[in-house]
Amino acid sequence: MSDPKDRKYGDEAPTLAGSNVPPRYARNTAAATQTPPPVSSKQSPGFTEAPTLLNNGSPTMGATGFGLTPVAAWAAALLEPGAILANRYEILQLLGEGGMGAVYKARDIQLEREVALKVIRPELASDAEISHRFKQELILARQVSDRNIIRIFDIGEAENIKFITMEYVEGESLHALLRDRGKLEVAEAVDIMEQVAGGLAAVHREGIIHRDLKPGNIMRDKHGRVVVMDFGLARSIASDGMTRTGAMLGTIEYMSPEQAQGKELTASSDVFTFGLILYQLLAGVTPFYSESVIASLLMRAQQRAAPLSDIDKLIPGILSNIVAKCLETDPALRYQNAEEVLGDLHAWQGKGGKSRISASSARLRMNRLREVPWPRFAITAVLMVLTAVGITLYLRTKPRASKVSTHAPVSVLVADFQNNTGDTLFDDTLEPMFNVALEGASFINGFNRGAARKVAATLPNPSKVLDEQTARLIAVKEGIAAIVTGSLSKRGNGYSLSVKAIDTLTGKTLANTTVNTADRDALLLEVPKIAVPIRQALGDTTPKSVQLTAMQGTFSTDSLEAVHEYSIGMERQFQGKWTDALQAFSKASQLDPNFARAYAGMAAAAGNLGQTEAAEKNAKLAMEHVDRMTERERYRVRGMYYIWTENWQGCVDEYGELVKQYPVDNIGYNNLAACYARMLDMPKAMEEARQGLEITPNDVLARMNFALYACYATDFKACQTGANDVLKLNPKYEEAFLVLAYSQLGQGLLPQASDTYQKLEKISPWGASLAASGLGDLSMYRGNFREGGQILEKGAAQDLAAENRDAAADKLVMLSYANLSRGDKPAAVSAAERALADSQSVKIRFLVARTFVEAGELPKARALAAELASDLQKSPHVYAKLILGEAALQEHNPSQAIQIFTEAKERSDTWLGRFDLGRAYLEAGAFTEADSEFDRCTQRRGEVLELFMDDNPTYSYLPPVYYYQGRDREGLKSPDFAGFYRTYLTIRGQSADDPLLTDIRQRLKQ
């Protein structure tokens, strides 16, 4: 059974008592002081999709993580066969659909012709990046007038649906041709690809690069005409410059090497893909085929393709050479554009044109390819795309390069060294320091010893000691590559320390080494020396002298007592005993005032106790002794310092550099993900968490965090899968039930979410507390405010009986919101004041102040805002501004409210801030601006599941968005306003105590 404190800073990073930052913070008085930080007002679009094809060859859109909102479901329901869109297009047939939208066969009633109608889902249409890509498909394709390029007719919007109409091509795709026939005859393949080259040549003459050419985007009609389609990822060189290094878009199986690396692209990138497709048409296989897509990409850069004429003697040698030149790894050695390719194809067939290639020159170029190394950072980029569940957007802004390890990750568990000295000072003292020495190798990760003890307790023969046998059982269960065991004995007046590394699966001893010292204090100084042969046995090729130089200073302490206290602090920290951990770390720092790790441990423990000033102070003290840290430790401690100062960009920079230098550091990836989450960049949080999981797939906490980030990012399917994966590893993990319920809520599966909460209720007392919050929030989401309030009231009483005042305060402040929602302001104020009596956290003060504003108690609200504004942390300042903005709105001063809300958004782009700003714009009559804010609220609805990232469900804040957007669309005189009201009724229409229902029904009768 998990404990809520497991989700704090509780990982046994050798230097940092709490380096594994979870997505949430401590459930205590200061829990809510850690709130979403300032981010740019421009949000990441989340996921993009590369248009692809269904198996039947019909054009469709690649799936993303976005699910349909109720509004989108209502709009999508209009597009049934026979429906009329925009009073012009009769829907005939669905050709395909995906996460971004769908493609229909339709009839243009006005012009009496069949068209293909491509739509984008309404909940994505307002995203600036996605909308831009949708629009540019029309703009760029219209710049090209060529029979081999699909004709785009128009772009429009009706009934909350954006759409493009284009030429309907009745035929089959190259994808379908290859699937059905395997390969084509030379004449047929060349005829098809000549037409493709002709269309691409027209595209390239206009300065446009397609960037997503593939068999599924090439169609041949029944008359033999071939057309190139799908310009959704195309870019204009003139306007874009094609300098977006690090941004990788397209379909990975048909990428050029430079596109896979996120480098600058030119038209020659399309030429490489052209060569891949022509090769496949002629040979029936791609030239770099492998079971692994990563291996395929490596082959593209490191190997030359087998000449087509060697595969099939019937393929002419000159044609083989033309394809070979298309497939040059160096873009400078390829054809520079499709017109050059077309010229050689024509010249070979005697149609005119001057050939640019000879058989001998092609061979020479292909031979040179073998000496071109694959840039190391590209492997990281490829891994990220492959693990993104079909998503082809590479989200990094720059490649991770310089010092990437070439060695596969190796996880190691340091077992308890056998203490034969009779001196308890050596119990669990040398092992953490040995972990530090091992992790000097960038590819080695020391498995959390505290986590290992928890696993040991679940074994058939539970053990509190990590002896060799227990450690090996744990390693097998957790997928750890090797274990390290040791023994310490007296040797006259001195000591003898023997250490060995053991392969987990075979039991083979990989290395065995011993050191002897004259006295006990010299033992610490010998740790780096004895670790060298272990590291070398695990694959570290760094010279011994370099390893020892890197450790100089790090092991300069000769105080075994200080290290022992540090070890105790680590153990208490993992147990969630933060006060005891702080005391142990503090004692270690007193025994050795230069012990950097002790200050780092104090910072983590203080932070988890809500003592943010002390956390910041001790992080600074740790950095004063930067010379006593390894390089890895310096990144971790600086990252932790930025966490406590809420400098999330600094946190991202430090942990980003850590994983660049130490690319198998799962702690680094987990912390980097947490910092991105605090910046409200949830797609990047998912990305980094996924990277960490690749290194330690059995890390339950990391898997839990990934699932949570997926929910925050509105990828509810990935969230559901992740939560279920956690429950497979730990069926009693309370938070996994909570996140599973979140995923079900996001998908509109309310009965299933209720069942999940009820299961959670039976797991443990803490699970029952979480379930009460969840069930109360679920009732409020449905509009059953009295019922939800009763659940929360009962849950708060149980929390108080268990002396958990902070949990009680969380429920009481939600009870206050329930009372406000049903119009009972006195009851709302009463519940809010009770919450404030139980907790003075930033979150509670903020939400209580919101209640005071809504109840007309403005002086009380402003007093709380003043308190928050005086806080040293940044996030309370944002909440103070939101309170003042809400007060201005309550006083019917929308212009002042807009100014204050905008200032708050510039510091932190919170969901509540967007909602409040939308309401202010609505009251000011700025309907377009309000519509934009409400759209963002529905797009980011994953964040509403847990607004404060603290295990407290808040999805009941979402339905009012539909009400206010309905009013806004009325102001815009948009005929679709009723759809938003109906969505609200779908959610809360059965409520007996929702005052908004009367207003909505009156508006619908107008």
Lowest mean pLDDT among 391-395, 647-651, 735-739: 391-395
Q: Rounded mean pLDDT of the chain?
A: 79
942 versus 608: the higher-pLDDT residue is: 942
Model confidence at 365, pLDDT cuts 50, 70, 90, reads very low
User: Regarding predicted confidence, which is higher, 336 or 543?
Assistant: 336
Model confidence at 523, pLDDT cuts 50, 70, 90, reads confident
DSSP string, 179-248: HHHSS--HHHHHHHHHHHHHHHHHHHHTTEE-----GGGEEEETTS-EEE---TT-EEHHHHTT--TT--
Q: Percent of the chain beyond pLDDT 70? A: 79
The tokens for 985 are: 């009724």
Tell me the C-alpha distance between 812 and 851, whole Å: 12
Mean predicted confidence (pLDDT) in 402-423: 76
**Per-residue pLDDT tens over the stretch 243-300:** 333 333 446 678 888 876 667 788 999 999 999 999 999 998 888 776 555 556 667 6
Q: How far apart are CA 366 and CA 564, in angstroms?
A: 61
Are the C-beta atoms of 273 and 214 separated by less than 8 Å?
yes
pLDDT of res. 635: 87
Q: What is the CA radius of gyration of the chain?
A: 31
Query: What does the pLDDT look like over 927-974, one tens digit per residue?
Result: 999 999 999 999 999 999 999 999 999 999 999 999 999 999 999 999
Among 17-31, 580-594, 891-905, name the one with the lowest average pLDDT.
17-31
Position with higher pLDDT, 581 vs 404: 581
Residues 886 and 860 sit within 8 Å (Cβ to Cβ): no
Which segment, 374-388, 398-412, 767-781, is predicted with the most confidence on average?
A: 767-781
CA 109 to the chain's CA centroid: 44
Please choose, from the candidates 588, 553, 420, the residue with its C-alpha nearest in 3D space to the C-alpha of residue 489. Answer: 420
- In angstroms, how far apart are the furthest CA atoms of the chain? 102
Gap between the Cα atoms of 58 and 229, Å rounded: 12
Whole-angstrom Cα distance, residue 147 to residue 465? 75
**Band of the pLDDT at 123, cuts 50, 70, 90?**
low
Kindly tell me if the per-residue pLDDT of 396 is higher than 60: no
669 Cα distance to chain centroid: 11
Residue 8 pLDDT level (bands cut at 50, 70, 90): very low
Measured CA angle at 824 (ends 820, 825), to 5 deg = 70
- For residue 956, give both structure tokens: 């009941």
| SS3 call for 403 | coil
Banded model confidence at residue 990, pLDDT cuts 50, 70, 90: very high
Flag whether pLDDT at 6 surpasses 60: no
* CA gap 720, 825 in Å, rounded: 37
CA dist., res. 16 & res. 10, Å (int): 9
Residue among 763, 749, 762 at smallest CA distance from 719: 749
Inform me whether the pLDDT recorded for 57 exceeds 90.
no
Give the confidence band of 207 by pLDDT, cuts at 50, 70, 90.
Answer: confident
Q: By C-alpha distance, which of 81, 88, 120, 122 is closest to 103?
A: 120
| Position 48 pLDDT exceeds 90 | no
- For the ranges 64-68, 671-675, 951-955, the lowest mean pLDDT is seen at 64-68
* Residue 56 pLDDT exceeds 50: no
Q: What CA–CA distance (Å, rounded) separates 235 from 241? A: 9
- Locate 695 and state its tokens: 């290194």
pLDDT at 367 over 90: no
Asked if 958 and 941 count as a contact pair (C-beta separation under 8 A), the reply is yes
pLDDT for residue 65 is more than 70: no
Q: Helices 449-456 and 468-478: crossing angle, nearest 10°?
A: 100
Q: Indicate if the pLDDT at residue 193 is higher than 90.
A: yes
Q: Which residues pair with 165 in a beta bridge?
A: 117, 154
Nearest Cα residue to 26 out of 610, 651, 737: 610
List the Cα angle 542/544/549 in 5-degree steps.
95
Distance CA 926, CA 406 (A): 56
* 899-917 residue pLDDT tens: 999 999 998 999 999 999 9
Give the pLDDT of residue 538: 85
What are the pLDDT digits (tens) for 856-880? Answer: 999 999 999 999 998 877 789 999 9
- Residue type for 441, please? A
Tally of residues, the chain: 1006
pLDDT at 353: 52
Higher pLDDT, 12 or 108: 108
Tracing tokens 């956690």 back to the chain, one arrives at 726
| Residue 75 φ/ψ, nearest 5 degrees | -70, -40
Measured CA to CA, the distance from residue 971 to residue 965 in angstroms comes to 10
Neighbours of 233 (CB within 10 A): 23
Phi/psi for 372 (5° steps) reads -85, 115
Number of Cβ within 10 Å of residue 307's Cβ equals: 19
Q: What is the pLDDT of residue 247?
A: 37
| pLDDT given for residue 138 in this prediction | 58
Residue-wise pLDDT for 610-632, tens only, equals 787 788 888 888 888 877 777 88
pLDDT attached to residue 14? 30
Distance of alpha carbon 784 from alpha carbon 812, whole angstroms: 16
Q: Give the orientation angle of helix 700-712 with respect to helix 682-695, to 10 degrees.
A: 160
Per-residue b or e along 439-449, where b marks 16 or more CB atoms closer than 10 Å to that residue's CB: bbbbbbbbbbb
Q: Measured in whole angstroms, how far is the alpha carbon of residue 4 from the centre of its chain?
A: 23
With b meaning 16 or more CB within 10 Å and e meaning fewer, what string describes 862-883?
bebbeebeebebbbbbbbbbbb
- 335 confidence band (pLDDT: 50, 70, 90): very high
- Beta bridge mates, 114: 107
Query: What is the pLDDT confidence band of residue 395, given thresholds at 50, 70 and 90?
Result: very low
Question: Please, which residues have CB within 8 angstroms of residue 813's CB and are 6 or more apart in sequence?
Answer: 831, 832, 835, 843, 844, 847, 848, 851
- Of 352 and 727, the structure prediction assigns the larger pLDDT to 727
At residue 819's C-alpha, the angle toward residues 814 and 821, to 5°, is 95
pLDDT in tens, 676-723: 999 999 999 999 999 888 877 777 888 999 999 999 999 999 999 999
Q: What are the tokens at 333?
A: 């050695």
Mean pLDDT on 597-603:
86
pLDDT on residue 122:
66
**Phi and psi, residue 973, nearest 5°:** 60, 35
Q: What confidence score (pLDDT) does residue 785 get?
A: 97
Rounded mean pLDDT of 996-1004?
94
